[in-house]
Amino acid sequence: MSAANDKAHAFVAGLAASEGLAPLAEAGRQAMADLPVPTRKSERWKYSPLTPMLATPVRTATAPEGWPEDVPTNPIPGLDAYRIVLLSGQVVAEACDLPVADGVVCMPLSQAMAEGRIGEGDEDWSAYHTREWVGAVNAAHAQDGLFLSLDAGVVLDRPVLVHHHTIGDNVASCPRHRVHVGANAQAEVVLWSSAPEGASGMVNAVLEGKVGAGARLGVDKVQHEQGAVFHLAHEHVTQGKDSTFRIHTVTVQGHWVRNELNVLQHGSGSHTIMHGAYLPKGQEHVDNHTTMDHTVPHCTSSELYKGILYDRSTGVFNGKVFVREDAQLTNAYQQNANIVVDAGASINAKPELEIYADDVKCSHGCTVGQFDEEALFYLKSRGIADRAARALMVQAFIGDVLEGFGQEEVAQEVEGLLADRHGWM
Amino acid sequence: MLTIKNLHAQVEDTPILKGLNLEIGSGEVHAIMGPNGSGKSTLASVLAGREDYEVTAGSVDFDGTDLLELDASDRAREGLFLAFQYPVEIPGVSNLNFMKAAINAKREHQGLEAITAKDFLALVKEKSALVELSGRLRDRSVNEGFSGGEKKRNEIFQMAMLEPKLAVLDETDSGLDIDALRIVSEGVNAMRDAGRSFLVITHYQRLLDHIVPDHVHVLSDGQIVKSGPKELALELEAKGYDWIKEGIA
């Protein structure tokens, strides 16, 4: 066994096996043994090596005794939402507020499993655990999460907030969510992760989604974790005919973040929106790996990721777009723009388009630059101080990402947090 | 208001201003004319505090303050305004938010409270009427998609909003058609008063038909080589700059 594998073995030794999701956990354990632990040698992990995370072993937290009093269950002022809250990977039932309505099943994933709502062979929609070691780690140790299923035609009246909060030292959290939006149904989900100063460990989160024919799923995903949390997130969403899936991913703060977003269009006429923003400071690291897979004709996708990198922070953007042979008349757009503010910061940006159909419209762009000095001077020449002028330009730069959130309250809270963090007005 | 003494400035080791002297009194309008490359725009940039320009000698006193000690934003807050020859497009920054930030920066400097939304909107309405800047343009991103004339009108709008003590107009007439020239000039003329001075930098005499200066100076090779009353501009237009150059040779 290699040194990397030894480290990885020691790292996960303190994780409790998943109880609620037995068949998946067994497959996960098997896959962990078979899959290589990612190293810098693998292209997909070259710029986000796991070495710093694996250096300190983590353990599963003991069952929570309740939600901490000093942490709001709903961190978004004014947001009227259903709520499922998790503390270090485990659902705190008494602090949840879940919808009860005809055609809606919304409950902790463990309960859905116990009630037989997840059938044999149906445990894993993404096959993530068979592809990535970190996916296998989640499958083997998945604790709990959101199970949301909407019958055909049901429009959920309020968004569902999934608030994951990490507390403690070297804690391992493996939340796992499943969202099924039936034909012509509609749902909005807010994924919010938080951690206080002093928290440390790993969050390894997986969300699997299926968006039925003519259905619509929107996700506002916000990462606002202080402390030293290594955050691995994977969303895997498949779309049916004429469906829409939208996700906005904003990393407000995170010690080390790897977002992996896979969207698969299985039905023609479907539309996907993937927007994201990252503004790391200090020595933070934020990685966004996205895959947009067009497999059928007449689909569109619009991807826009923007990054502003301060201090000695590092960023990664890797955007794969597949247009398969059958996916004629695809219209795919991808844009990644970065501003590297300080000389010590860096971004590794890589668009990857693989197009096998011949009648398609695909455009992509990737830019890495500094502040426009002429524009800065213009603002300053009107009396606006250097710092405020830079803040205005940053806000303008990421404004078009923040505009598209599903919930206005989430966008406002994110802007407020960013303003506090970066000294905006 | 402004006293420039023996000003020397260079860009990347190339001297451009070579001992420039100029005195502008309160309420006066001075015009600076001169051939291409004489240092007109450099003077504007040095006064506004553009960092690419290095001042190697001389002094600039602005109403009792050593201007060269201040950075660009402090100069503006002290009451200096530069109307750009090439106004910059800033996508995503709304014209109005920009102006609000600028006004509040100045008010903070003066120890005043931030302007109320009501007062701000009233001010916008009043000042945009001055240069016939439509609501459509006001509400857009700064200069984004503006025509050349619209950009220059936006400069004068900003000047009117900020009410500077000294406004430097850097070739504001370039790229303007007759109507835009008239609108811009009327905007400037409406702002003329005993407490406000103007330094109008231009290539052509035609702007000075609309904004009539108290004094005209000719800049050549980084120095003011001739000064006179407003009639000097007409003489220059008729005889060209070579006439001056011959005179000093």
Q: Which DSSP state fits A66? A: S
Single out the residue of A232, A263, A2, A39 nearest to residue A136, CA to CA: A232
Per CB-CB distance under 8 Å, the chain A contacts of B93 are 379, 392-393, 395-396
Beta pairing, strands A90-91 & A82-87: antiparallel
Cβ separation of A399 and B92 shorter than 8 Å? Answer: yes
Phi, psi of B123 (to 5 degrees): -65, -45
Give the number of C-alpha atoms closer than 13 A to the C-alpha of residue B111, restricted to the C-beta side. Answer: 0
Length of chain A counted residue by residue = 425
The Cα B85–Cα B168 span in angstroms is 10
pLDDT band of residue B247 (cuts 50, 70, 90) is low
User: Contact B201/B41 with Cβ under 8 angstroms?
Assistant: yes
pLDDT at B179: 87
Nearest to A419 by CA among A398, A383, A391, A397: A391
B72, A377: Cβ pair inside 8 Å?
yes
Cβ-defined contact of A396 to B90 (cutoff 8 Å): yes
Which of B75, B90, B162 is closest, CB to CB, to A375? B90
Option in A381, A383, A393 nearest B93 (CB):
A393
Grouping H, G, I as helix, E, B as strand and the rest as coil, residue B152 is helix
Q: What is the DSSP string of A301-350?
A: EEEEEEEEE-TT-EEEEEEEEEE-TT-TT-EEEEEEEEEE-STT-EEEEE
* Residue B222 confidence (pLDDT) above 90: yes
Token pair of A14, please?
A: 């303190």
Q: A59-60 and A171-173 as β-strands: parallel, antiparallel, unpaired?
A: parallel
**Residue in chain A lying closest to B78 (CA):** A383
Nearest partner of A126 among A8, A263, A248, judged by Cα: A263
**Nearest C-alpha in A relative to B160:** A382
Structure token pair of residue A408: 């206005």
Residue B101: list chain A partners with CB under 8 A: 384, 388, 392, 425
Asked if B192 reaches chain A (Cβ–Cβ under 8 Å), the answer is no
Q: What pLDDT does A65 receive?
A: 86
Residue A295, classed as helix, strand or coil, is: coil
Asked if residues A123 and A117 have their Cβ atoms less than 8 Å apart, the reply is no
List chain B residues with CB under 8 Å of A380. 49, 71-73, 76
- Token match 């609108």: residue? B183
Q: Does B96 touch chain A (CB under 8 A)?
A: no
- What's the pLDDT score for residue A270? 98
Interchain contact, B90 vs A385, CB within 8 Å: no
Q: Which residue of B has its CA nearest to A424?
A: B101
For residue B156, list chain A residues with Cβ-Cβ distance below 8 A.
none
Contact A384 B73 (CB under 8 A): yes
Q: Is B73 helix (H, G, I), strand (E, B) or coil?
A: helix
B245 burial type by CB count under 10 A (0-12 exposed, 13-18 middle, 19+ buried): middle
Read off the pLDDT band of B36 (50, 70, 90). Answer: confident
Set of chain B residues whose Cβ sits within 8 Å of the Cβ of A387: none
Q: Is B230 on the interface with A (CB under 8 A)?
A: no
Cα(A94)–Cα(A172) distance, integer angstroms: 22
Residues of B in contact with A339 (CB under 8 A): none
User: CB–CB of A384 and B101 under 8 A?
Assistant: yes
Enter the CATH code of domain B27-38+72-248.
3.40.50.300
Residue B249: which pLDDT band, with cuts at 50, 70 and 90? Answer: very low
In whole angstroms, give the CA distance from residue B110 to residue B116: 16
Q: Are B230 and B205 in contact (CB under 8 A)?
A: no
CA A216 – CA A210 distance, rounded (Å): 10
Of residues A123 and B36, the one with the higher pLDDT is B36
Residue B135 scores a pLDDT above 90: no
Contact A395/B at CB under 8 A: yes
Q: In sequence order, what E strands does B36-165 have?
A: 53-62, 65-66, 80-83, 90-94, 141-142
Q: Tell me the pLDDT band of B248, cut-offs 50, 70 and 90.
A: low
Enumerate residues 6+ apart whose C-beta is below 8 A from A54: A4, A7, A8, A11, A37
Task: Let me know: does A8 contact A120? Beta carbons within 8 Å.
Answer: no
- Say if B166 is an interface residue toward chain A (CB within 8 Å): no
Q: Please, are residues A365 and A350 in contact by the beta-carbon 8 Å criterion?
A: no
Contact status of A371 with chain B (Cβ, < 8 Å): no
User: Does the CB of B93 have a partner CB in chain A at under 8 Å?
Assistant: yes
- Which candidate in A367, A373, A380 is best for mutational testing of the B interface (most B CBs within 10 A)? A380
Does residue A383 sit at the B interface (CB-CB below 8 Å)?
A: yes
Determine the Cα–Cα distance for residues A382 and B77; give it in Å rounded to an integer.
Answer: 8
Which of A385, A397, A400 is closest, CB to CB, to B73? A385
Alpha-carbon span B7 to B222, nearest angstrom: 9
Q: What is the mean pLDDT of residues B218-228?
A: 93
Residue in B with minimal Cα distance to A393: B93
Mean per-residue pLDDT for B207-228? 93
Nearest CB to A384: which of B89, B105, B141?
A: B105
Residue A386 to residue B73, Cβ atoms within 8 A: yes
φ, ψ of residue B191 in degrees (nearest 5): -90, -10
Helix/strand/coil percentages in chain B, nearest 5? 40, 30, 30
d(CA B164, nearest CA chain A) in Å: 10
* Amino acid at the residue B146: F
List the domain boundaries for chain B. Answer: 27-38+72-248
B169: chain A residues, CB-CB within 8 Å? none
What does the pLDDT profile of chain A (425 residues) look like in tens digits?
A: 577 788 898 999 999 888 777 788 899 999 999 999 999 999 999 999 999 999 999 999 988 889 999 999 999 999 999 999 999 999 999 999 999 999 999 999 999 999 989 877 777 788 888 999 999 999 999 999 999 999 999 999 999 999 999 999 999 999 999 999 999 999 999 999 999 999 999 999 999 999 999 999 999 999 999 999 999 999 999 999 999 999 999 999 999 999 999 999 999 999 999 999 999 999 999 999 999 999 999 999 999 999 999 999 999 999 999 999 999 999 999 999 999 999 999 999 999 999 999 999 999 999 999 888 999 999 999 999 998 898 889 888 998 898 889 999 999 999 999 989 988 76
Cβ-based burial of A98 (10 A; exposed 0-12, middle 13-18, buried ≥19): middle
Asked if A377 lies within 8 A of B90 by C-beta distance, the reply is: no
**What is the SS3 assignment for A119?**
coil
Q: Which residues of A touch B81 (CB under 8 A)?
A: 381-382
Interface residue B51 vs chain A (CB under 8 A): yes
3-state helix, strand, coil in chain A (%, to 5): 20, 40, 40
Contact of A374 with chain B, judged by CB distance below 8 Å, is answered with: yes
- Residue numbers in A near B160 (CB within 8 A): none
Q: Is the pLDDT of residue B246 over 80?
A: no
